[in-house]
């Protein structure tokens, strides 16, 4: 029986540096390989090179918002099975519907429960 925790590649896309550092520390402490982008343009440049299994995505990014980042990354073949998780202060029903329409599987309010984030990451399918 394998009791080893799954290790996933996770891309954190967040413009608040305190939140970035907290999420990166949480995920790395749980054994995951983590990269981060502080805006949508960096996410678009880094994502296809890193090929994460999970993207934790703030929706209220300056410039290129998280909705557009998700929509654009989903166009890459390597992101077909990637789990996109919106973690945002944008939590109206319309925001949740819009995040689902661009490809987010879950939509967590800020501040998100760390245990919920870790559970979602652990449940992601490994990249083959």
Cα separation, 36 vs 87, whole angstroms = 14
Q: pLDDT grade, residue 3 (50/70/90)? A: low
Q: What domains are defined for the chain?
A: 9-111 (3.40.50.2300)
The pLDDT of residue 15: 97
The pLDDT of residue 2: 45
CA angle 120, 42, 123 (to 5 degrees): 10
Region 76-81: mean pLDDT is 91
The pLDDT of residue 1: 45
Q: pLDDT grade, residue 6 (50/70/90)? A: confident
The pLDDT of residue 127: 78
Report whether pLDDT(26) > 90.
Answer: yes
Q: Are 81 and 125 in contact (CB under 8 A)?
A: yes
Taking only the tens place, the pLDDT of each residue in 83-115 is 999 999 989 999 999 999 999 999 999 999 999
The pLDDT of residue 5: 77
Residues in the chain: 128
Taking only the tens place, the pLDDT of each residue in 36-67 is 999 999 999 999 999 999 999 999 999 999 99
């Amino acid at each position: 029986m394998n009791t080893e925790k799954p290790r996933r590649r996770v891309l954190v896309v967040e413009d608040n540096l305190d939140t970035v550092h907290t999420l990166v520390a949480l995920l790395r402490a749980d054994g995951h390989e983590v990269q981060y982008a502080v805006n949508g343009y960096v996410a678009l440049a880094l994502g296809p090179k890193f090929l994460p299994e999970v993207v934790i995505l703030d929706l209220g990014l300056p410039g290129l918002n998280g909705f557009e980042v998700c929509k654009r990354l989903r166009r890459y073949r390597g992101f077909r099975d990637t789990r996109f998780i919106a973690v945002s202060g944008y939590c109206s029903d319309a925001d949740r519907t819009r995040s689902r329409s661009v490809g987010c599987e879950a939509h967590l309010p800020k501040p998100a429960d760390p245990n919920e984030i870790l559970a979602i990451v652990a449940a992601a399918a490994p990249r083959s």
